[in-house]
């Protein structure tokens, strides 16, 4: 499932659970369901592979292309959790519905852990595994460098 799609920043992504109920209502389609997905991505800081799991329940209204939502009866359209999508009137790929939902939930950035210490910029060691002995274990920003320069002048 979810083949032919770009799950960036994940390198792989598959559905582990998916439920969908489609209800037709005067040409519109209500899609209600939920999904659970699992993917893998390199940690943004240390590049170690991280397994990411996410999912959500969704409810969307699919209206035929070239036409807005039918009538004025859709007061629920203002609900924030409701997505409105379009289909070409002939049919739609269930896969597409899920992929659209998955795409909305893809993480922007993946880290193996909130306190991942990343890779040492000096020696390239993964600091989660091997504490390296490079001086200045704490990351030194440009402002730290300025402070040092000032300190030397005075």
Contacting residues toward Zn ion, per CB under 5 A: 43, 45-46, 112, 116, 120, 122-123, 125, 132, 134
- Closest C-alpha to 58, from 31, 37, 36, 85: 31
Q: How far is the CB of 51 from Zn ion (least distance, A)?
A: 12
Structure tokens at 64: 């035929």
Q: Say if CB 45 and CB 119 are below 8 A apart.
A: yes
Q: How far is the CB of 126 from Zn ion (least distance, A)?
A: 8
Q: Give 27 or 137: the residue with its C-beta nearer to Zn ion.
A: 137
Q: Give 62 or 120: the residue with its C-beta nearer to Zn ion.
A: 120
The CA distance from 103 to 5, in Å, is 9
Q: Give 57 or 134: the residue with its C-beta nearer to Zn ion.
A: 134
Q: How far is the CB of 145 from Zn ion (least distance, A)?
A: 18
Q: How far is the CB of 47 from Zn ion (least distance, A)?
A: 7
Query: Backbone phi, then psi, for 148, in 5-degree steps?
Result: -60, -45
Report the DSSP beta bridge partners of residue 84.
61
DSSP state letter for 80: T
Q: Give 10 or 46: the residue with its C-beta nearer to Zn ion.
A: 46
């Amino acid at each position: 499932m979810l083949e032919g799609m770009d799950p960036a920043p994940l390198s792989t992504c598959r559905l582990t659970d998916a439920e969908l109920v489609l209800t037709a209502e005067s040409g519109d389609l209500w899609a209600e369901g939920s999904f659970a997905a699992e993917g893998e991505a390199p940690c943004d800081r240390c590049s170690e592979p991280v397994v990411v799991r996410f999912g959500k329940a969704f409810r969307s209204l699919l209206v035929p292309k070239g036409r807005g939502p039918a009538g004025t009866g859709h007061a629920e359209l203002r609900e924030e959790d409701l997505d409105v999508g379009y289909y070409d009137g002939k049919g739609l790929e269930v896969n597409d519905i899920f992929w659209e939902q998955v795409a909305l939930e893809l993480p922007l950035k993946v880290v193996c852990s909130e306190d991942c210490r990343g890779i040492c910029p000096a020696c390239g060691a993964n600091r989660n595994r091997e504490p390296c002995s490079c001086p200045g274990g704490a990351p030194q920003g440009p402002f730290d460098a300025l402070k040092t320069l000032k300190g030397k002048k005075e």
